[in-house]
């Protein structure tokens, strides 16, 4: 999330509407599979589900233009896009005046106050605070002047230390002017400032609620938290202090014809309440969708053929109901990762051992039949991956995957790695341990069995442990893995967002969950990350991806094509790769 990282596919979202004689009251209910999100603290918004929740209650300087394609960032709490110095090192933001945090017991007298530049600085420092262990520190630490040094000082200080010293690169020129000073050009800054990591929180709320802050929302977003029963139900209600945002009046070509501009100029949000239920069983969600109680459903493999024809169109029964089908490619890559610090599958200081470990990873990759995985497990809703960078993202290669399914090659590589027929020198069978999210999920269990069967075919036993989403993220964050099933959904539309997963300075607890390290890769990454979009930068992206493919810290799986079914009474929906703040635009018609 984000990074908008998720290791859990959302099977669907849903809306239930209730109407009264005096007024229309729309209640939006979003159903997510295994919605085990961490809470409502922006520093913990590193997975898709947490990011979705945070973006409903907090806001940042910038956001995505909902309807524009290609994607572009626009002001949200900033009154305009930043003024950027000629050398690209200084960004000046002027904040909107009159934007207020809501009334809450954390403020003196219970009265909310105006948002200031200092609030953003405080919020940015929380992301950098090593004691909070935010996975979002990468958005600032190597880019903002003094951020790295500040983090080191805070790491040496007690966890209770206050932010008496600030980062030199964050300056409040006055109460409504924020300056960000960089150490080198950072073209991605406009994108990362749209992410929940960079959203503003009041220091009063963090101090007042302490460890319970994640359960209390004191933000400027369209909604406020009313109740939260973990792993069951979350209710959000309209924020009366929301700062008067309107539905967009302009869109991309075709949006007007699609009815996406009928609410132009109307006050947001268009729905009064959001009630989110956590659901582990797809059967329940599907039955509710057929009954017309929920606005949307994804499709798992067991129900795919009930809704989609062999020609990959919508079934006649659903057409008669007025159901709409959206097929949209995701900017995401799914893979099996190897912990490069592990003594069996990881890297080694000894060149001979290191080469053997690399061949073991390559054997693992060759043992998996990507095509069969997409056919049997995903009903061809996915396509086999060939690069860590997905299609439609700068740096993606169209070359064939270097580790295509080949049992004979996998066995040969396994023998060269020191495991002929899957056994070591003492004749002991090689056993690898893999973790994946989806505890209790039938789909996850079928995936696990698929992977184990294919590894068994080359003589390797794969022990798969299915975990709750929260526990999975904890182990991944802490590097407590050997092999792990994972996916990365783009945080922003730039190939750099995928390549940073291999940059050595992002190792655990950062986003480089494989703990991959290659000096040649790092050198190219540091060269490319400061460059604006250009053919030269694209060429560097392709070189970096090739280095990763050779070292094989990931066994690539697939790129998803998302199938979504939507009821006719659900309006203003447009597929979006970064949908976290988009619920404020949605509308429900009487039905």
Q: If you count them, how many residues does the chain have?
A: 591
pLDDT at position 516, please? 98
**How many CA atoms are closer than 13 Å to the CA of 528, on its beta-carbon side?**
29
**How many CA atoms are closer than 13 Å to the CA of 135, on its beta-carbon side?**
32
DSSP string of 430-445, one letter each residue: PEEEEEEE-TT-HHHH
Cα separation, 521 vs 139, whole angstroms = 19
**24 vs 135: which has the higher pLDDT:** 135
Phi/psi region, residue 110 (left: phi>0; alpha: psi -120 to 50; beta: rest), is: left
Q: Residue 216 burial by CB count (10 A; 0-12/13-18/19+): exposed, middle or buried?
A: buried
Backbone angles phi, psi at 485, to 5 degrees: -90, 125
Cα separation, 206 vs 209, whole angstroms = 6
Could you tell me the pLDDT band of residue 48, with boundaries at 50, 70 and 90? confident
- Give me the domains of the chain, ranges plus CATH numbers: 16-253+576-584 (3.40.190.10), 332-561 (3.10.105.10)
What is the separation, in whole angstroms, between the first and last Cα of the chain?
A: 33
Cα separation, 198 vs 122, whole angstroms = 10
Tell me what the mean pLDDT of segment 377-393 comes to.
90
Cα separation, 345 vs 483, whole angstroms = 8
Cα separation, 514 vs 340, whole angstroms = 6
Q: For residues 565 and 327, is the Cβ–Cβ distance under 8 A?
A: no
pLDDT at position 256, please? 97
And the tokens for 359? 């061949």
CA-only gyration radius of the chain, Å: 24
Per-residue model confidence as pLDDT tens digits over 94-107: 999 999 999 999 99
Q: Is the pLDDT of residue 10 over 60?
A: no
CA distances from 252 to 66, 247, 452, 563 (A): 10, 14, 46, 22
Helices (H), 378-461: 407-416, 442-456
Backbone angles phi, psi at 327, to 5 degrees: -115, 110
Closest residue by Cα to residue 227 from 280, 277, 269? 277
Contacts of 79 (CB under 8 A, 6+ apart): 94, 95, 96, 97
Tell me what the mean pLDDT of segment 161-187 comes to.
94
Backbone angles phi, psi at 431, to 5 degrees: -120, 130
Q: For residues 129 and 167, is the Cβ–Cβ distance under 8 A?
A: no
Cα separation, 41 vs 44, whole angstroms = 6
Q: Is the pLDDT of residue 76 over 90?
A: yes
pLDDT at position 406, please? 98
Average per-residue pLDDT in the chain? 90
Backbone angles phi, psi at 430, to 5 degrees: -75, 125
Q: Is the pLDDT of residue 31 over 60?
A: no
């Amino acid at each position: 999330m984000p990074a908008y990282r998720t290791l859990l596919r959302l099977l669907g979202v849903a809306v239930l509407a209730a109407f009264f004689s005096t007024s229309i009251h729309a209640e939006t209910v979003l159903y997510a599979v295994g919605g085990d999100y961490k809470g409502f603290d922006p520093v913990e918004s590193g997975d898709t589900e947490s990011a979705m929740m945070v973006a409903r209650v907090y806001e940042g300087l910038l956001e995505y233009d909902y309807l524009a394609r290609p994607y572009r960032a626009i002001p949200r709490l900033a009154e305009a896009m930043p003024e950027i110095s000629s050398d690209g090192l200084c960004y000046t933001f002027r904040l909107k005046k009159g934007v207020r945090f809501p009334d809450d017991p954390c403020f003196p007298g219970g009265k909310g106050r105006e948002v200031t530049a200092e609030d953003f600085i405080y919020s940015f420092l929380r992301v950098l605070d090593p004691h909070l262990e935010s996975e979002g520190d990468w958005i600032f630490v190597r880019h903002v002047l003094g951020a790295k040094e500040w983090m080191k000082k805070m790491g040496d200080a007690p966890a209770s230390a206050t932010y008496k010293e600030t980062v030199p690169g964050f300056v409040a020129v006055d109460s409504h002017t924020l300056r960000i000073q960089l150490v080198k050009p950072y073209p991605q800054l406009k994108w990362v400032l749209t992410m929940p990591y960079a959203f503003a929180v009041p220091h009063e709320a963090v101090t007042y609620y302490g460890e319970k802050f994640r359960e209390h929302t004191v933000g400027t977003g369209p909604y406020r938290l009313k109740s939260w029963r973990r792993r069951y139900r979350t209710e959000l209600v309209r924020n009366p202090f929301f700062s008067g945002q309107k539905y967009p009046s302009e869109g991309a070509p075709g949006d007007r014809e699609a009815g996406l501009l009928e609410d132009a100029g109307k006050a947001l949000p268009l729905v009064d309440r959001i009630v989110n239920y956590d659901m582990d069983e797809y059967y329940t969600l599907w039955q509710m969708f057929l009954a017309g109680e929920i606005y949307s459903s994804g499709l798992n493999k067991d129900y795919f053929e009930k809704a989609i024809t062999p020609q990959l169109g919508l079934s006649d029964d659903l057409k008669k109901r007025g159901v709409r089908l959206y097929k949209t490619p995701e900017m995401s890559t799914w893979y099996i990762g190897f912990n490069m610090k592990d003594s069996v599958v990881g890297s080694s200081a000894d060149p001979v051992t290191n080469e053997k470990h690399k061949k073991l990873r390559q054997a693992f990759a060759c043992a998996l039949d990507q095509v069969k995985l997409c056919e049997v497990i995903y009903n061809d809703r996915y396509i086999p991956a060939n690069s860590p960078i997905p299609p439609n993202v700068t740096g993606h290669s169209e070359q064939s995957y270097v580790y295509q399914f080949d049992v004979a090659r996998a066995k040969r590589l396994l023998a060269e790695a020191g495991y002929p027929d899957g056994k070591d020198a003492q004749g002991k069978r090689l056993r690898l341990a893999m973790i994946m999210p989806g505890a209790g999920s039938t789909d996850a269990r079928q995936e696990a069995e698929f992977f184990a069967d294919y590894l068994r075919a080359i003589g390797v036993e794969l022990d798969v442990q299915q975990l709750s989403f929260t526990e999975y993220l904890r182990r991944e964050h802490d590097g407590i893995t050997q092999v792990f099933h994972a996916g990365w959904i783009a945080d922003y539309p730039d190939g750099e967002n995928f390549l940073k997963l291999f940059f050595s300075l992002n190792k655990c607890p950062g986003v480089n969950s494989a703990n991959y390290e290659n000096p040649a890769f790092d050198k190219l990454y540091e060269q490319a990350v400061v460059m604006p979009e250009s053919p030269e930068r694209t060429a560097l992206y392709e070189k970096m991806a090739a280095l990763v493919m050779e070292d094989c810290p990931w066994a690539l799986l697939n790129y998803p094509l998302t199938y979504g079914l939507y009821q006719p009474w659900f309006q203003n929906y447009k597929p979006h790769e970064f949908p976290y703040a988009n619920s404020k635009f949605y509308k429900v018609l009487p039905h």
